[in-house]
Chain A
Amino acid sequence: DIVMTQSPDSLAVSLGERATINCKSSQSVFYSSNNKNYLAWYQQKPGQPPRLFINWASTRESGVPDRFSGSGSGTDFTLTISSLQAEDVAVYYCQQYYNTPLTFGGGTKVEIK
């Protein structure tokens, strides 16, 4: 199984400041034949299912604000919120879809400082 490790478990950031979440996979999720990283990011708010935010490590889904960005390749990935807004308070998960069993990181809780 590919183990996904997120850090930190939680972080508190002031409004307007940058938030950075890290995700590390136990093996590469990069597929060289199509030059894609099989890595997604989700946002989850209480009482709701996770919402897909970013796929292929860096492609924002429709409707996701451009203050969110994904980067990284291979085994190390980052989700950055460039200027934290109140509505960004949530838990964020990374997930690999490179192979089965499909696996998620443990989540990072983002709060306002």
Chain B
Amino acid sequence: QVQLQQWGAGLLKPSETLSLTCAVYGGSVSGYYWSWIRQTPGKGLEWIGEINHYRTINYNPSLRSRVTMSIDTSKNHFSLKLSSVTAADTAVYYCARGGNIVLALAAPFDPWGQGTLVTVSS
């Protein structure tokens, strides 16, 4: 059973860069798309983007200019960086598994990481 464990800094100042990592246990990062999603009381659930082990990346256009995703197959984890954060980026950030590359089949998010609350405040 695949499990995701995520970590990263929870308190940032405006203009800093958010950095989170999600490790995959019980399976390989190869063969799937891996997403980052954030949740705020105001905007609900917002997909940030996805990456696979070929380093094919799809970003949400709303965040594309500030987002960088990477993947490390040797460590079986993937990462998110969001630059120039503001208070509007305060949210719970989740990692999650998405579509199956081998089957060329899109899929909903399952499983999810436990979530990381990131607060941006001066």
Contacts and interface: CB of A to CB of B under 8 A. Distances in A.
A is bound by B: yes
Interface of A: 38, 40, 42, 49-52, 55, 61, 93, 95, 97-98, 100-107
A106 B109 CA distance: 16
Interface string B16-52: 0000000000000000000100000000111100100
B106 A101 contact: no
Most buried by A among B44, B60, B113: B44
A59 to B, nearest CB: 10
Interface residues of B, number: 23
Contacts, number: 55
A50 B106 contact: no
Nearest to A91: B44
A28 to B, nearest CB: 15
